[in-house]
Structure 1
């Protein structure tokens, strides 16, 4: 790293809270080094009260852009100049590109999720998914899965500040795609259990399972799962979440954390910033050691 950084090094940031657990700096900095690109990627703890100033800093410091994660994926939109069509549809941004002071928001989470499944030889086209969460990642996953041919999505969410986002996601999916989406209250555990039982994939896109909630799972009973399904937790720190442990107790064949999704969404962001393809095989070896 010290050999690459000089007066011409271009900065890219990661803005979220909490964020010190993130593997994105390791992923991107190793990719820059592998390709001999003069970029540096740093993580910044950015809470709500700092977000507007942080976005202005992208312009002021002439940063090439930034990744955006919880809790800022939707809150950042008013501070940007433009949105990609997918980001506009999702109402969420996880990647910002700075073109001479014009900030454009993109979303690569949904594509990353679908590519992570494809990397494992799995296809959910024509199948049913139960999904928890309607934040930035959950929204991108739901809409991209619907666009890519998932037949049915049962979206579960708490009746909290993200309930309206969940309603919006279901409405957009039903209006703009051939997928049938329904919204369910996460408080109804019997309904939750029934929908998972009839699904080919269960995906948790909430922060449950990540610090400080690393000892929790929205599904505690292994009997809710069946062996032939996919269980996907978007959390990747810790590597084995409580949800993954429950799924493995049930003998589920395909159990994943969010590392593959992080890699694939990162590869798309990398190309947006640099115009180059990330050396995905090389980075995958580093991430999955």
Structure 2
């Protein structure tokens, strides 16, 4: 795509991601590579939006005629207040990561949970029947938890620094269409240790361990996990966090957040363009962007 063509894209051809900070995002490289591969006349950018400017940024989607955007930390929950409509699944999750502009009407969706499940499936990991320990209770954790319930998890234990927020997610799971046995455990508690010792899948949905704080981990003692447990970190920068490195060194299967990023992005295409994005093209471009930035 030449500079001249990009300068004349016109309305309905520009997309992007809203976040703060967002410079680290691999999404622009991922989506722009997919546009080129598909012969599409479109461009995807990164828009750094401080929380106090979120309302103006959302209004700008209408004003500038953007086709749509992705939404990332810290705006996934707050952005819902500025949309014309929120899809039922996104409302249940309580977070939006994809917005579509349909003639000035902004509709919010959430593809995080589906991207998470698809990324497990491609590694041959079945959720059904597993005891899952979920680290965190924010927007990403909510999407993951509800989709774990849909996929037939036997039990979900939520461990979060703020117990009240974890209990809020627990209540949502109780009201879900696919209710699941669920519990809350405080960080470092005996209940948390017992849950980890029984876990078939541990999912980190916190930012702990994300660059530049790569020496930190949300789980101090990986030795609590049983053989055969799967450790999933939704972080993709770095590709191997301290949590994943320590789990790998114990012989456990580990999965980083790159696949979730790619698959949730490919699922966003279904709302924007009516078809799934080219997964392998997107994966290669995201990985190249991450390696170039490291």
Aligned residue for 2:123?
A: 120
Contact map agreement 1:221 1:246 (CA 8 A) in 2 = no
Secondary structure of residue in 2 paired with 1:78: helix
Pick from 139, 146, 157: which aligns with 2:160? 157
Contact map agreement 2:128 2:154 (CA 8 A) in 1 = yes
Tell me, yes or no, if structure 1 residue 53 matches structure 2 residue 56.
yes
Aligned residue for 1:132?
A: 135
Aligned residue for 1:235?
A: 235
Q: Distance in 2 between matches of 1:229 and 1:214?
A: 23
| C-alpha deviation, 1:249, in angstroms | 2.2
Tell me, yes or no, if structure 1 residue 281 matches structure 2 residue 280.
yes
Tell me, yes or no, if structure 1 residue 271 matches structure 2 residue 232.
no
User: When the two structures are superposed, what TM-score results if normalisation uses the length of structure 2?
Assistant: 0.92
Select between 165-174 and 239-248 the one with higher mean Cα deviation.
165-174
Q: Distance in 2 between matches of 1:88 and 1:96?
A: 13
What do residues 89-123 of structure 1 show as CA deviations (whole Å, max 9, x unaligned)?
01111111110111111110011100000011111
Select between 212-221 and 50-59 the one with higher mean Cα deviation.
212-221
How many corresponding residue pairs?
284
Q: Distance in 2 between matches of 1:135 and 1:76?
A: 14
Secondary structure of residue in 2 paired with 1:76: helix
Q: Distance in 2 between matches of 1:78 and 1:134?
A: 20
Pick from 63, 67, 75: which aligns with 2:66? 63
Aligned residue for 2:179?
A: 178
Aligned residue for 2:166?
A: 166
Q: Distance in 2 between matches of 1:197 and 1:94?
A: 33
Contact map agreement 2:115 2:260 (CA 8 A) in 1 = yes
Q: Judging changes above 3 Å, is the alpha-carbon distance between structure 1 residues 17 and 78 closer, same or farther for their aligned structure 2 residues? A: same
Aligned residue for 1:204?
A: 204
Q: Distance in 2 between matches of 1:105 and 1:60?
A: 17
TM-align CA RMSD: 1.6
Pick from 77, 82, 94: which aligns with 1:79? 82
Q: Distance in 2 between matches of 1:149 and 1:198?
A: 17
Select between 223-232 and 55-64 the one with higher mean Cα deviation.
223-232
Question: Superposition pairs for residues 250-269 of structure 1, below 5 Å?
Answer: 250-252=250-252, 254-269=253-268
Q: Distance in 2 between matches of 1:140 and 1:132?
A: 13
| C-alpha deviation, 1:6, in angstroms | 4.7
Secondary structure of residue in 2 paired with 1:86: helix
Contact map agreement 2:112 2:144 (CA 8 A) in 1 = yes
Pick from 20, 24, 35: which aligns with 2:27? 24
Q: Distance in 2 between matches of 1:44 and 1:108?
A: 20
Structure 1: tracts of 5 or more residues without a match: none
Select between 142-151 and 222-231 the one with higher mean Cα deviation.
222-231
What do residues 108-139 of structure 1 show as CA deviations (whole Å, max 9, x unaligned)?
00111000000111111121100011111110
